Structure formats: structure tokens, C-alpha cells
Amino acid sequence: MAGSSSRLLFGSDMNSSYENFLSAIVPLMKLLTLTIMALLLAYFQYIPRSTFRLLSKLVFALFLPCLIFIHLGQSITIENVIRWWYIPVNVLISTLIGCLLGYLVVIICRPPPQFKRFTVIMTGFGNTGNLPLAVVGSVCHSMDTPFGPDCHRKGVAYVSFAQWVAVILVYTLVYHMMEPPLEYYEIVEEGAEIEDQQQGSDVSRPLLVEAEWPGIEDKETEHCKTPFIAMVFKSISGVSRTNIPDHLGDEGALSRGSSIQSIRCFAEPKMVRKIRIVAEQTPIRHILQPPTIASLLAITVGVVPHLKNFIFGYDAPLSFMTDSLEILAGATVPAVMLILGGMLAEGPNDSTLGLRTTIGIIVARLMVLPLLGIGIVALADKLNIVVQGDKMYLFVLLLQYTTPSAILLGAIASLRGYAVSEASALLFWQHVLALFSLSVYIVIYFKLLSYI
């Protein structure tokens, strides 16, 4: 009798483990299938590159904003804004730890001197947007999901709530850290710059540049491809006072409707002046793009009960509009994976980063950081600073440590003219190997979450 009961218990544990394994692997197999389909279609040129570029613009300007507005708007309330405070904080923590790991990679792997900052950035800044949304959408596209019937709406809301922090980091910290190193910056002639711009506007531009943030190449400024901060703070003789301090200061003043004389009336300290000049060259205004606008609208609508009831719900007067947006939102996940497949079909570019540094970044980002993330999220859960009993909440927090480097970093590299081919090659190999690392860690996450 005892032997029979032990066999039943053992069999039950085996079945449970097998079900958990399938629940974790099957969603990724769905995403992998979509990616391989796009890769084959792009490789054999059944779908031209221009089609993938158009699809990325549709995702950016239409599908993704619809997805964010529908699910975040339905889920957000004033109470939830307070309860979810740790989600954006976790993005900052994961980025900080990732940058520390990147610094260790620099010490251990010794990349070429001009790529030290690049190594830290590529290790520290992960994909907190499209890829987590795709994983959540695939995980919830199942009847036996461990996250309950409201899985997809909550998952998308949690991921969307964290995106604005990542966008601010990219357009401030990452933008300036990705400027070309002064020691290795070469002054190019005006004619060569014009030629490069003409080549960059050609259809042959890699899909990587526009895969996640289309149109970023159009945001170029006068100094975006120069080591501007180093020139300002080191007072490089090659940069005249007319081009940097006075010209930019006057331009910034005129944009605010102030007169040039109003600035000269006050004795502005040199350091304050330099910081002001750098701040004026920070493209913070570009944060207001369709996905972030959708997040702001969703939060605004969600925290006002009367406005929320007017837009969301079966009996809402504008329910026909939200139904239409939900139909468009359904195209986000397949479109994102098709774009990823088209990007991978282009293959890796030549890289001078070095094999040892490339392996170091991949190991730190895809293998070591998720292990540290498990410990940090477990500690946060023990300290009761996360939503208790919400498996999807914890799953999204863990995903923030597990994804490869953000594809947007490739676009920033192209915008700044710094390590463009190295970013392309590294993102290619990271996303190829992430298919395996994500599989392993999602199985581990599902097993850990089963104990909650």
C-alpha cells in the first residue's frame, strides 16, 4: 500500500514537472516559429527589406500604442500606480547591476579602449519593451497558463508601465554615453559627411537601425556624431566658441523666447554654462513618441474613473473605439517577431570588438544577470515591497533581467556614429542565443513561481 502511494506521488510530481516544462517551452516555440518564418521569407527575398521597414513603422506608430493604451488603460488606477511603484524602480536596478557587470567585463576581457563605454552600455541596458511584450503575449496565449484568466491584460500593463523609464534612460544617459570617444574621433570633411548622410538615407540601411524606433535617424542634430560633451568640458581648440558656447546658448535662448542680452546680463559660471549647453543638446523632447504618448494617455484615462467608464467596458459609449483598437493591438506580437526574423536574416556585421569581449557581454547579460535578478526579486518579495501573490507581477520583474540588449541601442549607435557594426553584430548574436537562455530561465521562473 505504501509502495503504491509513493508511486502515485512520484508520478504526480513527474506529471507536474512535465506540465510546468511544457508551459514554459511551448510559448517560446511559438515565438521561435514566427521568427524562423520571417527569417526564411527575408533570406530567400520573398519579402523585401522595405516591407519589414514598413512593418516596423506600423508597430511603432499604430499596433504597439493600441496595445499599450487598451491594456494599461483598463488596468491602471490611482491605487495601482502606488502598488506598482517597484516596476520602474526594478528597471533602474537591473540597469545599474547590468552596468556594473559590464564594467567587470571591461576589466576581465579588456576590450579595445574605444569600446569600453560601449561594453558597459550593451551589458547594462536590456530590452524592456517589445520582446517582453511578445513573451507575455505568447505565455498568456494558452488555456493552461499559470497566471490566471487575466494574464494578458495584467502582463501588458506591467511591461508598459516600465517602458517610460527605459525611454528616458535611452534619450539621456545612453545617448550621451554613446558619443564617439574623443581620443579616437576623426574629423571628417564636410563633403564626406554629406556622402555618408546620403548613404544613410538609402533603402540599403540595415533594418536594425529602425527595427524598434523607426525614424530615429531623422532626429540627427548638428553635434550628434561628435564627442560633444568631451569637447565642451575639455575646451577643445578645434571647436570654436562660436560653434559651441555662444551659438548654442543663443539658439537655446531664442527657442525660449528670450533675448541674447538677457543672458549676458548675468555672470554665468563656466561649469553651469557647460552643463546648460549639454542639457540643450540632450534630445529629451523625442521621448514623446507614439508608445510613450499612449502610456501617458492610458494612465490619464485610467486614474479618472468617470473618463475610464466612458471609454472602457462593454456598456461604455466609446466601447466600439476600444474594440477597434484591440483588434489592431492583436497584430503587435506577430509583427514584432516577424521584424526580429527579418533583422536576423541580415546576419551579423563585421566587428572589431573582439571575440573575448563579445562572449563576455553575452555571458554577463544572458546568464549572470538573470541569476542576480532572481535573488533581487526574491529579496523584494521577502521585504513585501512587491504585489503579494501576483505571479505575473513577479514574472515581469524577472523578465527585466533576462532579455538581451535593447535593439534600440543599435539605432542610438547609428545616430551617434559610434560602434555601429559592433552593435549590429552583438545584437545579432545576443538575440540568437537568447532563444536558448530565455527557454532555460523561463522554465526556472515557472518552477519558482509554482511555489507561490
pLDDT bin (cut points 50, 70, 90) of residue 251 is very low
Q: In which element (H, E) is residue 8 found?
A: helix 2-43
User: CA gyration radius for the chain?
Assistant: 24
User: CA angle, 72 as apex, 66 and 73 as ends, to 5°?
Assistant: 85
**What is the predicted pLDDT for the residue at 212?**
60
What's the CA gap between 308 and 329, in Å, rounded? Answer: 19
What's the CA gap between 57 and 218, in Å, rounded? Answer: 13
pLDDT tens-digit readout, 9-58: 344 454 556 666 677 788 888 888 888 999 898 888 888 888 888 888 89
**What is the predicted pLDDT for the residue at 441?**
92
What's the CA gap between 376 and 355, in Å, rounded? Answer: 30
The 3-state DSSP class for residue 350 equals: coil
**What is the predicted pLDDT for the residue at 252?**
43
- Average pLDDT of every residue of the chain: 78
pLDDT tens-digit readout, 360-377: 999 999 999 999 999 999
**What is the predicted pLDDT for the residue at 12?**
46
Q: In which element (H, E) is residue 87 found?
A: helix 86-109
Question: Would you say the C-alpha torsion 192, 195, 201, 205 has a positive or negative sign?
Answer: negative
What's the CA gap between 58 and 47, in Å, rounded? Answer: 16
**What is the predicted pLDDT for the residue at 404?**
93
203 vs 360, which has greater pLDDT? 360
Given a cut of 60, whether residue 124 has pLDDT beyond it is yes
**What is the predicted pLDDT for the residue at 10?**
41
Helix segments in 182-259, DSSP class H: 190-200, 228-234, 247-255
306 vs 144, which has greater pLDDT? 306
Residues 169, 167, 215, 193, Cα dihedral to 10°:
0
Question: Would you say the C-alpha torsion 62, 63, 66, 68 has a positive or negative sign?
Answer: negative
**What is the predicted pLDDT for the residue at 229?**
62
What's the CA gap between 366 and 401, in Å, rounded? Answer: 8
Cβ atoms within 10 A of the Cβ of 29, count? Answer: 12
Residue appearing with cell numbers 554654462: 273
Domains in the chain and their CATH numbers? 42-188+284-449 (1.20.1530), 222-282 (no CATH)
* Contact (Cβ atoms closer than 8 angstroms) between residue 90 and residue 162: yes
Number of continuous H segments (helices) and E segments (strands) in the chain? 23, 0
What's the CA gap between 83 and 134, in Å, rounded? Answer: 24
Question: Would you say the C-alpha torsion 290, 293, 299, 304 has a positive or negative sign?
Answer: negative
Positions of E strands within 76-178: none
What's the CA gap between 202 and 219, in Å, rounded? Answer: 16
**What is the predicted pLDDT for the residue at 90?**
95
The 3-state DSSP class for residue 438 equals: helix
The structure's pTM equals 0.82
* Contact (Cβ atoms closer than 8 angstroms) between residue 137 and residue 152: yes
Angle between helices 86-109 and 355-363 (to 10 degrees): 150
Given a cut of 60, whether residue 241 has pLDDT beyond it is no
* Contact (Cβ atoms closer than 8 angstroms) between residue 113 and residue 136: no
